[in-house]
Structure 1
Amino acid sequence: MEEKVYQVSGMTCASCALTVEKIAGQQEGVQEAQVNLATEKLTIRTNTDFESAALEEAVSGVGYQLEVQEGGWSIEQHQIDDEQKEAHLENQKREVIWTSILAVPLLYIAMGSMMGLPLPNWLSEPATFVLVQLLLTTGVLWLGRGFYQRGFRNLFKGHPNMDSLIAIGTGAAYLYSIYGSWQVLQGQLHFAHHLYFESAATIVFFIFLGKYLEARAKHQTSRALQGLSQLAPQEAMLVKEDRVEVVATKDLQVGDRVRVVPGESFPVDGEIISGESYVDESMMTGESVPVHKQVGEEVWAGSLNQTGSVDYRVTKVGAETMLSQIIQLVEAAQAKKAPIAALADRIALYFVPTVLIAAVLASLAWYFIGGASLEFALSIFIAVLVIACPCALGLATPTAMMVATGRGAEKGILLKSGPALESLANVETVLLDKTGTVTAGKMTLTDMKVWTQESDESILVQLASVESRSEHPIAQALVQAAEEANLDLLPVEDFKAQVGRGVEAKIDNQLIQVGTLRYLEEEGVSLPEDLDLLSWEKMGKTSLLMARDGQFVAALAVADPVKETSAQAIRDLKELGLNLVLLTGDKEETARAIANQVGIEEVVSQVLPQDKAAQVENYQAKGQSVAMVGDGINDAPALVQAEVGVAMGTGTDIAMDAADLVLLQGDLVSLVDAIRLSRSTLRIIKENLFWAFIYNVIGIPIAMGLLYLFGGPLLNPMLAGLAMSLSSVSVVLNALRLRFK
């Protein structure tokens, strides 16, 4: 199954989005279709029978245009898209300014005399009074002609949208006012006080203003992605044999040698081949402390070189860089709807036709049953049409999702979908893989006790020299310890490894044996009476013994240490009300020791890799919503089985592919942040939906004259238009609060 993404133009409200989604979903070969109103993108999943041209034609037939995003994703294209959005926003700003230049004088002319404000003498002539209003209103409606083109087109095609409501409402006011103007010119001067020119023009102005404020606020919701896309520089210093030349970043190829000086960002991913420096990777991991990088270590596009000049070999370019993949993941997450949006979608689908019917019935009821005047009935009709707002319903979820995923990306938290974010907020039990999740995932020498007069360093050199021939993680821990102590390894001969027991080799013709207690006992080595390995084992450490020429020399312990932040993260997760379980293939003693260090009470140990998914099922069978946190290939089935799979960014690619959430920093503190962010997001989505529903439930009956029926005020159509515009803006502004979480 293939996924395709289209940019949709012509959408103005939730009804538009649902129409496009419905039409796309009906096309042959389309398995699933989702439209995101906030990002204005259509995402479809297709099979081999799908034809893109047929989809584009079908959607064009209902008044919208599709542009497929082909040719691969790139940061350059993302930056171009941002520039286009900026230009569109600037165009909307001009529309607001020009509309206000016409609408404000019109409002003064029409309403000034009622409020005791002076008018120029030349406007005292009735004919001039109405013709100036007609001229100004026509100018406003010409500026807003897009509402009428889209609105009536969609109405006639059987898919009325928000523009249809605006077009019918303001169009009716405009046409009635033209009729009134004609009557004034015919001598019926009382019609001069029953015109709706100012209502039609002011409604269009308020809608332009609301759309501009909404677009500006929506633009803010994608600020995190805009910031990420601008991190990678446009140019790079390409190192040739005898010179350095500046080239466009997009022209770099894998294998090129690139130089980055202090204060500049890395243009693409690569591996350092010369020099060393401290690099700020906070935009990728959320970790503010610079990381020391030297020859052989990886650097990412967009990270900032701080102290030293380095040359590095390009390993990934374009859409393959980590920065590009992060942006793509965030954009993909924004395109996928959270389940909570389903109710709003169902309502929005029938919203506009229902409002049209309600407006007609209300105006007819007032005219025929209530005995109201034609002007009164028309006022009711217009007010109902322009106060109704499916936009607030349609924007409630995607705007919050956009801000949340962008904010998460800034902190090194990659949420892959809307459903994952909603599920994370509702998680009750968290299963934590031990190695690489709670612990560092790398063996380290923690203790060493020597029974001879030699120094610890001299013994460590011999141990590391022998173990340097082995690929075992414990052996690598000893070699790493020697390197950190700046010790030079010794030449060894006759190396032999005995699986599950230990290793041996000769150094200066002395036989060095390193291995388990059982191994040395079987080799006939006499062990000291004060040898105590039990205390290490209770702490979850693995003990090793060393003998030289059959004589016991030293005991040492290695362990996969707990990450410095794990204990605090566990405490924070508990405060969030979560049930925590340590899940590991290690033996019970080691697992329990680690659990005690970080404060986890429930432990499931000695679990085979293929059984981890079954453990997730066990907790799900108890009715609990489960998050699985892991970093290895063996965790992938469990990550898929859980409601939310969480992968450490320091783990394997397979685990990250299988997960719903990736923590780039590889730290459980990020999981705490992710859960808090998801809960805040879900709360704001519920608030948005609540206020969007309440706004329409209360606003439409008031516009229909419910309060007036009981002696209250009648809603002016202009105020209805203002309220409609501000309802969408308020939803977006509420979502923007997530930027500060």
Structure 2
Amino acid sequence: MNESVHLDQEGLEEGDLIRLRSQFGYNELPQKRENLFLLYIQNFWNPLAWIMEAMVVITALSGDGLEGLIIAALLVVNSFITLYQRHSADTALAALSRTMQISVRVFRNGIWTMLPARELLPGDRIRLRMGDVIVADAFLLEGNLSVDLSILTGESLPQDVTAKQEVYSGGIVRRGEATARVTAIGKSTKFGKTTELLEVAHPPTHMEKIVSKVIRSLFIANVLVAVVVVAFGMLAHVQPLQIINFVIVLLLTSVPVAFPTMFIVAQSYGALQLSKREGGSVLVRRLAAVQEAASMDVLCSDKTGTLTQNKLAVSEVLALGAHTQEELLSFATSVGDDSNEDVIDRAIARYSSERNIHAYSRRIFMPFNFATKRTEAVITCDGVDVRIEMGLPSALLTDRTLLRDDALAAVSAMSMRGLRVLAVVTEHKNLRECVGLIGLADPIRTDAPRLIKELEALGVRTLMITGDGLLTAKAIASDLGLAGKVFTPKELKEDPSLAFTGSVCAEAYPEDKLAIISALQKAGHSVGMTGDGVNDAPALRQAEVGIAVESAAEVAKQSASLILTSQGLEGVQEAVRISRSVYLRIHTWVLNKVVKSIEVLLITTLVFFITRSYILSPLLGVLILFANDFVTISIATDTTKPLSAPARWNVRSLVIGAALISLVPFLLMLPVYSLAHSLGYTVDTLRTIVFTALIYFSATTLLALRTQEHGWKVAPSKALALSLCFSLAFSSIISGFGILIAPLPALFFPVLASYAVLDFLGIDFLKHVSGLRALIYK
């Protein structure tokens, strides 16, 4: 602990801040910057790079050194493009991560206030409570904590920490409350690290696995064809160089050159769209959630702040027996704590303060315990120690509690009016008595019923999970328009199907949320979950899309995939829409990739079997990849109309549909090739014609497939339009002026343009045939 920091009970004053800031700086670690040169070099170590490098060697050995140099140059340029796109996406994500700073409650200038953790200084007095991430090393002044240090030490069991002991940055408060003095920040902390909120690295998602499966299948198919071609070539005594060139081009077309970059750019673009949403951004902590939300079909929603206004207020105060409302409120206020952010404590404290009612002197305080369902305190009243308990009536109103029957009758009546009811019980000299009840109300959001219906129209069922009693939950469900059965965890254990048909789970605790999510997932559902508390963390991690609400504890935010910065379901609805748009972009990429791969496979293989020669040289294969890279990556920003139902992948249907679609450009290529061949053009000229036709057809195929509607009804994004123009201009200049390849006869420019239009119209017509439409867009 630094000697200049004194462990008094006061916080820092304004005059201390400048001096301490100049001495200690900010509470952050130096950011590790990735070496761009090393990232660039990595682009030369992957399957695509290996094939292109093999091309350079083979062309050089065959005596065509110029072609080898050109392929090497294109590999270098392509690596620069990939690096730029990845770096741009990483920069955008880094900007997003800065918006997700942890906040901490600090006592400065005589008042408690919330500050970004970055602003902490040694000497600051901070308040720690259950669910908080400890953001600096600190010395406990008062209170008791159970701290989870597993992220730092690997120890699975929390450690108990009491006054005059230290806690360390990176720990998580699992239980208790305490006031502490900051002793070290940033790189000066014991473990030298803080908790990051943005997690970019993650295991392969379901969508990534599906796409990888498709690409792997294409690669295997091309390898099998290559084996057949090699066998045929050997039997037909084809020159080995011809066979090698054909095999290289075949394998080259099956490698997903732009997939990793396109995938990251698509998700990053979706994350940026969410972060810039009007009315409250949605912050993306786990990038994969941007596309995983596309398949979500059940939303397990917390009530507070999502379906209600998060304006919990005391609505009714009922004193029992000879007790007065003033006495009841004094007891209730004494059990609260004004240094934390608990909404119930603050609601009661605010209500009492407005009536000039004060708390008793408190000797002992025990924060809310989920196991006992109560908060406890020992106060001094008229010189006598009295134990006060405040919590759920079902837990506090035991058989030996006086006025129990009156209290239970009142609880039922208040609950039917939609109030959350708390019982206040005192105990002194073995005499236990219910002093009264406090009813709290959190009005539903006016937009909640509408948003629930709109989510339902998108194929997402809302299941509200609340800790409220059964009667209260039924009243709220009626106001929200949730028509399904209201059930309890006990009923769910007896009949698990309630998770699939019910609309509200009442009397639920965090562990019940996890059970509900697991049951839904086992039944094949993709689940979203909103939560705010420390005990919601397991359920948020378990759900495909964990969503931390605006007022969530830091541990909940750490466990979530998405973080809402505004109340209500609008952020969730927007996440679903944008996620489905991201899915459609990735789906378009996959569909387009499969169609082009099969098209090239059919054309090159057919010509090889007929002529015993390859129609695409390795150089042309690389030029096709280079021209299409810009287009492929720009699909990530294309204009799309979100799906009206949850996304579902069907690889077999997609591949069959793509194979049928690929017949359109393949069949159109045949008369083009036949015309060129009949006019007596050389092999090199025929290659130029096929090369240019493939580029033209690739553009029109993409324009036709990128939307489920007619292609001319939905304009492409500016980035995609510019990329298509570049691709067409690039291929036209290369072929028209005969740069690196034989020049294209002027006659074939209008011919290829006309056939490309036919390709667009043919695919656009074919994709609307009901059977085929179900295959490619299922």
TM-score by length of 1: 0.50
| Pairs within 5 Å for 1:704-723 | 704=605, 706=607, 709=610, 714-715=615-616, 717-723=618-624
Amino acid in the other structure paired with 1:329: L
Question: 416, 419, 424: which one pairs with 1:541?
Answer: 419
Question: 166, 171, 186: which one pairs with 2:57?
Answer: 171
Report the Cα distance in structure 2 between the residues aligned to 1:615 and 1:413, rounded to whole angstroms.
25
Report the Cα distance in structure 2 between the residues aligned to 1:388 and 1:394, rounded to whole angstroms.
14
1:570 aligns with 2:456: no
Question: 187, 203, 207: which one pairs with 2:75?
Answer: 207
1:632 aligns with 2:525: no
Contact 2:332-2:348 at 8 Å conserved across structures? yes
Report the Cα distance in structure 2 between the residues aligned to 1:722 and 1:691, rounded to whole angstroms.
18
1:580 aligns with 2:448: no
1:338 aligns with 2:205: yes
Report the Cα distance in structure 2 between the residues aligned to 1:717 and 1:231, rounded to whole angstroms.
47
Map of 1:696 onto structure 2: 597
Question: 381, 391, 399: which one pairs with 2:257?
Answer: 391
Contact 1:430-1:578 at 8 Å conserved across structures? yes
Map of 1:686 onto structure 2: 587
1:677 aligns with 2:555: no
Map of 2:300 onto structure 1: 431
Contact 1:627-1:644 at 8 Å conserved across structures? yes
Report the Cα distance in structure 2 between the residues aligned to 1:610 and 1:88, rounded to whole angstroms.
46
Report the Cα distance in structure 1 between the residues aligned to 2:454 and 2:593, rounded to whole angstroms.
34
Q: Report the CA distance between 1:207 and its aligned residue.
A: 3.4
Question: 520, 539, 547: which one pairs with 1:646?
Answer: 547
Q: Report the CA distance between 1:540 and its aligned residue.
A: 0.8
Contact 1:363-1:377 at 8 Å conserved across structures? yes
Map of 1:471 onto structure 2: 336
Question: 143, 161, 176: which one pairs with 2:47?
Answer: 161
1:559 aligns with 2:513: no
* SS of structure 1 residue aligned to 2:459: coil
Report the Cα distance in structure 1 between the residues aligned to 2:453 and 2:536, rounded to whole angstroms.
24
Question: 335, 346, 350: which one pairs with 1:480?
Answer: 350
Q: Report the CA distance between 1:591 and its aligned residue.
A: 0.9
Report the Cα distance in structure 2 between the residues aligned to 1:440 and 1:417, rounded to whole angstroms.
29
Residue identity over aligned pairs, in percent, reads 20
Report the Cα distance in structure 1 between the residues aligned to 2:536 and 2:248, rounded to whole angstroms.
60
| Pairs within 5 Å for 1:413-452 | 413-416=283-286, 418=288, 423-435=292-304, 437-439=306-308, 443-446=312-315
Contact 1:415-1:421 at 8 Å conserved across structures? no
Report the Cα distance in structure 2 between the residues aligned to 1:623 and 1:231, rounded to whole angstroms.
35
1:387-432 deviations in Å (ceiling 9; x for gaps): 45332455554443444456556633335363x5555332222222
Amino acid in the other structure paired with 1:573: L
Map of 1:227 onto structure 2: 95
Seen in structure 2, the aligned counterparts of structure 1 residues 587 and 704 have a Cα distance that, compared at 3 Å, is same
* SS of structure 1 residue aligned to 2:205: coil
Q: Report the CA distance between 1:470 and its aligned residue.
A: 3.8
1:600 aligns with 2:554: no
Report the Cα distance in structure 2 between the residues aligned to 1:251 and 1:432, rounded to whole angstroms.
32
Report the Cα distance in structure 2 between the residues aligned to 1:730 and 1:327, rounded to whole angstroms.
34
Contact 1:467-1:476 at 8 Å conserved across structures? no
Seen in structure 2, the aligned counterparts of structure 1 residues 341 and 564 have a Cα distance that, compared at 3 Å, is same
Amino acid in the other structure paired with 1:390: P
Map of 2:86 onto structure 1: 218
Amino acid in the other structure paired with 2:88: Q
Map of 1:101 onto structure 2: none
Contact 1:344-1:689 at 8 Å conserved across structures? yes
TM-score by length of 2: 0.48
* SS of structure 2 residue aligned to 1:585: coil
Report the Cα distance in structure 1 between the residues aligned to 2:466 and 2:505, rounded to whole angstroms.
6
Amino acid in the other structure paired with 2:462: L
Map of 1:59 onto structure 2: none
Q: Report the CA distance between 1:723 and its aligned residue.
A: 1.3
Amino acid in the other structure paired with 1:733: S
Report the Cα distance in structure 2 between the residues aligned to 1:590 and 1:326, rounded to whole angstroms.
38
Amino acid in the other structure paired with 2:87: H
Report the Cα distance in structure 2 between the residues aligned to 1:545 and 1:701, rounded to whole angstroms.
76
> Unaligned stretches of 5+ in structure 1?
1-72, 93-145, 155-159, 179-195, 234-239, 242-248, 259-267, 272-311, 450-458, 508-514, 527-531, 547-553
Report the Cα distance in structure 2 between the residues aligned to 1:667 and 1:318, rounded to whole angstroms.
38
Q: Report the CA distance between 1:361 and its aligned residue.
A: 6.7
* SS of structure 1 residue aligned to 2:581: helix
Report the Cα distance in structure 2 between the residues aligned to 1:555 and 1:172, rounded to whole angstroms.
86
Aligned-residue RMSD, C-alpha? 6.1
Q: Report the CA distance between 1:574 and its aligned residue.
A: 2.2
Q: Report the CA distance between 1:337 and its aligned residue.
A: 1.2
| Pairs within 5 Å for 1:312-461 | 317=186, 329-332=198-201, 335-345=202-212, 362=229, 369=236, 380=246, 383-384=249-250, 386-395=252-261, 397-405=263-271, 408=274, 411-416=281-286, 418=288, 423-435=292-304, 437-439=306-308, 443-446=312-315
Report the Cα distance in structure 2 between the residues aligned to 1:230 and 1:404, rounded to whole angstroms.
17
Report the Cα distance in structure 1 between the residues aligned to 2:604 and 2:68, rounded to whole angstroms.
16
Q: Report the CA distance between 1:724 and its aligned residue.
A: 1.4
Q: Report the CA distance between 1:722 and its aligned residue.
A: 1.7
* SS of structure 1 residue aligned to 2:552: coil
Q: Report the CA distance between 1:351 and its aligned residue.
A: 7.5
Seen in structure 2, the aligned counterparts of structure 1 residues 739 and 414 have a Cα distance that, compared at 3 Å, is farther
Amino acid in the other structure paired with 1:176: S
Amino acid in the other structure paired with 1:166: M
Structure whose CA Rg is larger: 1
Amino acid in the other structure paired with 1:468: T
| Pairs within 5 Å for 1:53-68 | none
Amino acid in the other structure paired with 1:341: E
Report the Cα distance in structure 2 between the residues aligned to 1:213 and 1:625, rounded to whole angstroms.
36
Amino acid in the other structure paired with 1:480: R
Contact 1:424-1:644 at 8 Å conserved across structures? yes
* SS of structure 1 residue aligned to 2:206: coil
Amino acid in the other structure paired with 1:668: L
1:591 aligns with 2:456: no
| Pairs within 5 Å for 1:525-536 | none
Map of 1:34 onto structure 2: none
Report the Cα distance in structure 2 between the residues aligned to 1:489 and 1:589, rounded to whole angstroms.
31
Q: Report the CA distance between 1:444 and its aligned residue.
A: 0.6
Amino acid in the other structure paired with 1:416: R
Report the Cα distance in structure 2 between the residues aligned to 1:479 and 1:77, rounded to whole angstroms.
42
Seen in structure 2, the aligned counterparts of structure 1 residues 347 and 380 have a Cα distance that, compared at 3 Å, is same
1:72-104 deviations in Å (ceiling 9; x for gaps): x976434x32xx43x789x89xxxxxxxxxxxx
Contact 1:424-1:675 at 8 Å conserved across structures? yes
